[in-house]
Structure 1
């Protein structure tokens, strides 16, 4: 099966975050595939969808060396049925479809690279494919931490920068939920006895914006808002989920402490602030620079120029980088439109990225 055929097969198996049955069926597919490639793979149970861990033995004099770790995920942001609205298609060397860029293309790249190095002397390889990366990997954090112990380096198969550069650091990313309980009342006949949870939530979001503005390089996005029910009823409940991103752990701690310290503006309003998921900031380091130099050398061996730069988005590589494991991300194919209806990959970069990953496995 060609890379494009396999990518189509993967994209047409829809796997939204939290759809446990769909994710588990895909995990079974990965376990079988990794077995075909000579690995020992297993599903790691999680309530919202199982993760996959696979180990591929080393060969020759490097068979007992510390393994290389590859990180990926099989969940996507797209709901079941998205294929009807953005069907798979290949036009002028560009592949379109839900999940092709983020990040089923990266899964196909790794599989192809493993095929290419099957008979080569090399280190062992370990792969972790998580099922809830798109919501911060809340059920996979302990797994990634445990399975990254003792590895020599970690590589993410997320999309690269637009020019193909790898990602050498990432902002920390934390999801926070703010819930407000007010008091329902008739909005005209008894408004004074009510407490609007919506009004309280609006004021709390303004307060968050104000405190975030006191720090440089902090991003804040209000991703969802919900609450109320009828225009003639004072809203009794409201909630919002925020995405916060940080360059360094000191700023992260200061902002999160301030958000946790929010207090109700209105008498009788109740406020609950909690962290839903958190990925620590992965900062630039000398070990990452050294790893990038080795990867650039591996790239030259297959006729590719490899560069690197910091990234704003978060991924599972945040955790390995934060833990001090030399880490690089962005080894997936080139394309654009992550989380957007124009999601796409450039078909020719699938084999190019596979050749680069294979060179990394052979040489690092």
Structure 2
């Protein structure tokens, strides 16, 4: 049943930014969570609705602080990826397809666990599924922060470490766009009358590299560059999107202050904008205590689970940064996130569902 559900979900492609596709998928989740006893709210956003589903507690902990489960239904893959390059495929216990690992497998694990605990005693549960996680959750950050208020602990359904360990902290992740407006002119007849936006952008990117070099444990990736149009025209516009990763919040603040304070080196207009930000989630004793409880829950269903830091960012950065005990990586085991060989180990769908159900019943 889990594999059939996952095939259905993978077959419904949900590229980030395709609001119609994401909202259609959200309709499916709304129906499913309602069937499982949840009360569902939708938070409209230009990139697609975010979902919040509340499940009442049962028994002695019915009025206790809830557990928060964080997930997303957008993927990095464009429409047609399933047909053209990554068809659904099952072979030797491995399932291939766009989104199986990041993170529709995690969505199936979550709803299966909810089904397994439907008649058991547990805390109230809150599920938040966002529509733009793959671009840093720019429209979902406020919703995640608001829904995290007062929860007992937070759990993410992103992929785990390769050996199945959970993620106990994450690097901060910030996307920045540098936009330059120069002045067009004929590149041969009037070169001095123009101001090259591309030359200015190159100088600014060199300046960014110098800023990064002054700090430890910072990753910087220039992901896109656009600008110009013809070699006989001095380019009048150019832009670059940059991804930064940070371990230390103080370093993050220093780097971002320096980058956003950049000034043009020629007669050009320069705009530096932060597109999205996920602050660094650092290790904490509270998360260590939560991991110990989860390890005990795992042993109750015949599993061993550990935890360690991760470099990738997700919505759990927000809850960890807010000081909420947080763990991530409850999705199935696999590999190839954001790659054409994306895959999961089929048997770990049921194993992870059993683990999550045990967490719900005991934490």
TMscore range, shorter length: over 0.9
Q: Which whole-Å CA distance do the structure 2 matches of 1:71 and 1:316 have between them? A: 7
Aligned to 1:82: 81
Residues 184-193 or 108-117, more deviating: 184-193
Residues 223-238 of structure 1: matches in 2 within 5 Å? 223-238=223-238
- Gaps of at least 5 residues in structure 2 are none
SS of equivalent to 1:121:
coil
SS of residue in 2 equivalent to 1:358: helix
* Cα offsets for 1:61-100 (capped at 9, x unmatched): 2111111100000001111111122111111111111111
Identify the residue that residue 101 of structure 1 maps to in structure 2.
101
**Partner residue, 2:216:** 216
What are the superposed Cα offsets for residues 215-257 of structure 1, whole Å, 9 maximum, x if unpaired?
A: 1100101111100001111111000000001111100110001
1:159-212 deviation per Cα after TM superposition (whole angstroms, max 9, x unaligned): 001111100001111110000111111111211211111111111111101110
1:43 positional shift: 1.5
Shift of 1:297: 0.4
Alignment of 1:162 with 2:177, yes or no, is no
Aligned residue runs from structure 1 range 146-295, under 5 A: 146-266=146-266, 268-295=267-294
Normalized against structure 2, the TM-score is what? 0.99
Provide, for residues 332-352 of structure 1, a one-character-per-residue CA deviation record: whole Å limited to 9, x for no partner. 001111111111111011001
State the Cα distance separating 1:26 from its structure 2 match: 0.6
User: What's 2:66 paired with?
Assistant: 67
Q: Which residue of 2 aligns with 1:298?
A: 297
Secondary structure of the structure 1 residue equivalent to 2:244: strand
Question: Which SS does the other structure have where 2:231 is aligned?
Answer: coil
Q: Per the alignment, in what secondary structure is the counterpart of residue 323 of structure 2?
A: coil
1:119 maps to: 119
**Structure 1 residue aligned with 2:33:** 34
1:22 aligned residue: 21
**CA–CA separation in structure 1 for the residues paired with 2:39 and 2:168:** 30
Indicate yes or no: 2:353 matched with 1:354. yes
CA distance in 2, matches of 1:327, 1:232: 55
Aligned length, in residue pairs: 362
DSSP 3-state at the match of 1:162: coil
Instruction: With the length of structure 1 as denominator, give the TM-score of the two structures.
Output: 0.98
Distance 1:317 1:216 in 2: 23
CA distance in 2, matches of 1:257, 1:63: 45
Deviation for aligned residue 1:41: 1.1
Q: CA deviation at 1:36?
A: 0.9
- Cross-structure match for 2:341: 342
Q: Distance in 2 between matches of 1:60 and 1:254?
A: 49
Once the two structures are TM-superposed, the CA of residue 287 in structure 1 deviates from its matched residue by 0.1
TM-fit CA distance, 1:42 = 2.0
Q: What's the secondary structure of 2:233's corresponding residue?
A: coil
The secondary structure found in structure 2 opposite 1:175 is strand
Give structure 1 regions of 4+ aligned residues with deviation exceeding 4 angstroms: none
2:314 aligned partner: 315
Which whole-Å CA distance do the structure 2 matches of 1:208 and 1:337 have between them? 30
Indicate the SS of the match to 1:80. Answer: coil
RMSD: 0.7
